[in-house]
Homo-oligomer: A and B are copies of this chain.
Amino acid sequence: MPASATLSLSGERFTAVYRLSGTAAEVEARARAICLEQTVEFPEALIPNQAIRTQIVGTIAEIKPCSSCSDSSSAQNPNSFEVSIRYPIEAAGREFTQLLNVLFGNVALQPGVRFQRIDLPPALLQHYTGPRFGIAGLRQQLGITDRPLLCTALKPMGLSPTELADMAYRLARGGIDLIKDDHGLSDQTFCPFDERVSRCAEAIARANQQTGRTSLYLPNVTAPADELDARAERACERGAGGLLLCPGLTGLDSLRRLAADDQIALPILSHPALLGGLSLGSSQGLAQDLLFGTLTRLAGADATIFPSFGGRFAFTAAECQAITIAARAPLDRLAPIWPVPAGGMRLEQVPELVTFYGQDSMLLIGGDLHAGEELTARCQAFLRLVRQASKQTPND
């Protein structure tokens, strides 16, 4: 193999932090293997030249015991380590798909590696436009400065567009800020996309005229790869105030593409369907805050739905807090985004949720709005509860 005379990279690198278990020696060997696996995917001894060895292969920046890690369960395991590996920015180039590949492509297939965090330099971040609205942009859009936002879903699947539009009207009358399609509504024969979007957008616009408030309608544009763009465009034309997307079903890069589309330019709410499968199990996959916080934000979502503690799912309070921090923490020039705790939340939990998630959060309550009394009245109760709890919660 001839020497690679042309390889002359910048030397700038981005960092991935993985959590590994084993003795110090085992972890170091494993870390070394990851440096190769995620770049050259080649036995170290066979790397054809020194330029590739020094410029392409990942380098271990740090290995530290998890006694100094934030996560308490791992902190108690003396055989748990955090390994920081640095990859050349040119390996990922300007492509989100390839960035994900270098960070975790093959290693995702290996048990015992938990992908915890990333640190991307501006030279790499420049390729990402990130969230178009984020917390501040959506507050401005809605004219709400002083409380968490209210969100709900149009459901259940099986209702007709007319029935969902009637529901949307009553939700908007009741003061819900963001009214999204259930993520199970796509373009079914019993509820065609175009008709649903037209009717629901019209119903919410009518309610807005009557209340003088702004409720946004966010249709679900999760769709086959060759239909997603057209569906987003039709949603725009028909008066959508935002979009719902499930990047686990469409690919995370579809979220990035949608968010970067200046012809669409609507707030995007990201739903965790399927994607969340990559975050289960504490010793493998991606940490929840990395997946639903950092990466979803990097892809350009303005709000990230995740299953809150206290509902039908199994995320812990600590995991939910970590997601919330990753959604809102400073990240170069990328706008902070809305954490959207969901998954079986109930009205009675509102005070606790507002205290826990703070002012800059969006509370998504679905089924429980339909329990008991009349829907509009129940929405009004939701709004009252949020306002009350909000007064007792300082700004973040």
Contacts and interface: CB of A to CB of B under 8 A. Distances in A.
Interface of A: 1-2, 4, 6-7, 9, 33, 37-43, 46-49, 51-52, 55-56, 90-91, 93, 95-98, 100-102, 104-106, 108-111, 153, 155-160, 163, 166-167, 182-184, 186-190, 222-227, 246, 248-254, 256-257, 272-281, 284-286, 307, 312-314, 343, 366-367, 370-371
Nearest to A43: B367
A90 B31 CA distance: 47
A97 B52 contact: no
6 contacts: A4-B159, A40-B184, A46-B367, A97-B250, A105-B274, A108-B277
A199 B180 CA distance: 49
Given A52-B159, A163-B4, A184-B39, A90 B189 contact: yes
A41 B316 CA distance: 21
Q: Give 9 closest A-B pairs by Cβ, nearest first.
A: A251-B251, A40-B156, A105-B273, A108-B277, A52-B158, A109-B276, A56-B158, A42-B156, A225-B257
Contacts of A224: 95-97, 253, 256-257
Copies in the complex: 2
Nearest to A278: B277
A255 to B, nearest CB: 9
A225 B251 contact: yes
B41 A182 contact: yes
Nearest to A96: B224
A286 B189 CA distance: 28
Interface of A is mostly: loop
A158 B256 contact: no
Contacts of A105: 183-184, 246, 248-249, 273-274
A160 B7 contact: yes
Contacts of A273: 101, 105-106, 108-109
Given A2-B163, A37-B312, A55-B158, A101 B253 contact: no
Contacts of A43: 367, 370-371
Contacts of A246: 97, 101, 105
A372 to B, nearest CB: 10
Nearest to A56: B158
A137 to B, nearest CB: 23
